[in-house]
Structure 1
Amino acid sequence: MTTDDDDPIAATRRWLQRAVIGLNLCPFAKAVHVKDRIRYVVSAATTPDALLEELASELAWLAGIDAEVVDTTLLIHPQVLADFDDYNDFLDQADAAVDALGLEGEIQVASFHPDYRFAGSADDDPGNCTNRSPYPMLHLLREASVERAVAAFPDPDAIVERNIETMERLGVEEYWRLLEP
């Protein structure tokens, strides 16, 4: 995991390069990374309400900019929703913000958290690492980009299975070691 003095953007870039791209957890991430179309935003929010305001602002910003300039945003929020259960509960509010801005079908929010836990899984299940990031974050994705990427991939359903197998081979401790500075 990250250290207290680690820069959230540096840690997130390292996670993206070493885990998401390096382990091929998301075969679509490399292209937007190489083209420098990922926006990294560190939230100053210390309350869920403040984060919700920042999320709405970031959703509107992303919707208003050309995908050829910025295709996706990682909204990193190190000071709020450190507890996974609180974070998980917040995701309904994030989806409601997408709807309230009229962006349903245009932008979706994906979830990543240091303590991510899929429903029904144990805390130490290596499969959870597929969605574990150095800091809590909300990933804002353009649905058109997701649809194009999935259409170009031969078997998108196999990604989840392959990722779980990768994490089981790697193990939780080695996953976090991979992300060290």
Structure 2
Amino acid sequence: MSQLYPPYTIANAQELTKLWVDAMVIGQNLCPFAAPERSRGSIRYVVVQEQDLSAAMDGFLNELLFLQKSPEEEASTSLVIFPEGFEDFEVFLDLLDVAEDALVQSGVEGLFQLASFHPDYQFADLPAEDITNWTNRSPFPVLHIIREGQMGRVLDSYKSPDEIPERNVALMEKLGAQGLIKCFPPFQDYIKSTA
């Protein structure tokens, strides 16, 4: 049975991000720790509509505060989605820098950490067209707030966690652009033809 996807539009940012997590992060096992949290219903998806850095950071900080006040069983992690204003990857990296500084300034570094995803994600040492970049490519810009204690416990119980990135790169190489589109059809709306 084929899954139907909504149009790739800003209005569908939250739904498409959830579907991406289901199809890629969990479906392709990019993060072996995500499926149990989805089953528990403890993954939060929050859309920040603000397009300028300061207002967007307010949305991020509100979600960070929510996580701090919430029990891990109810809200284990948050994907903060920025559908507008951060489409340019360099602008998104500025947002990431400010968000990481905010973790330090608010005294929660060591309690929370960030992972980042973007439609044009590019690792610093790789060309834009390298398929490896797709391990961190998502339908919309996302800052993923992770509880460090929870991640530490999960990593301690996982055999060979250091092999996860290598396995993910090998998967991207095996799938290629067309395989990625088959796994998550909305990729066709923004995937680079050179990937």
TM-score normalised by L of structure 1:
0.95
TM alignment of 1:62-101, pairs within 5 A: 62-101=67-106
Segment of structure 1 superposing worse, 76-85 or 167-176: 167-176
Moved over 6 A (4+): none
Q: Deviations over 1:83-129 (max 9, x none)?
A: 00111122111111111211111111110001100012111111111
Q: Is the 8 A contact 1:11 1:179 kept in 2?
A: no
Counting only pairs closer than 5 Å after superposition, residues 3-152 of structure 1 correspond to structure 2 as 3-4=8-9, 7-152=12-157
Partner SS state of residue 160, structure 2 = coil
Q: Does 1:180 align with 2:185?
A: yes
Q: Kindly state the Cα deviation for residue 12 of structure 1 after the two structures are TM-superposed.
A: 0.8
Is the 2:113–2:147 contact (alpha carbons within 8 Å) kept by the matching residues of 1?
yes
SS at match of 1:119: coil
Kindly indicate whether the alpha-carbon contact (under 8 Å) linking 1:60 and 1:101 is maintained by their aligned counterparts in 2.
no
Q: Would the aligned equivalents of 1:129 and 1:172 in 2 still touch at CA under 8 Å?
A: no
Percent identical residues: 38
Distance 1:174 1:5 in 2: 24
Q: Secondary structure at the match of 1:45?
A: coil
- Asked if the contact 2:89–2:121 (Cα under 8 Å) also holds between the matched residues in 1, the reply is yes
RMSD over aligned CA atoms reads 1.4
| Count of aligned positions | 180
Q: Which amino acid aligns with 2:104?
A: D
8 Å CA contact 2:117–2:142 kept in 1: the answer is yes
User: Residues of 1 paired with 2:111 and 2:96: CA distance?
Assistant: 17
Q: Please list the CA deviations of residues 45-69 of structure 1 after superposition, one character each: whole Å capped at 9, or x if unmatched.
A: 1111111111111111111100011
Distance across 2 between alignment mates of 1:169 and 1:106: 36
Secondary structure of 1:40 counterpart: strand
Q: What stretches of structure 2 of length at least 5 have no aligned partner?
A: 1-6, 187-195
Measured after TM superposition, the shift of residue 44 of structure 1 is 1.2
Gaps of 5+ in 1: none
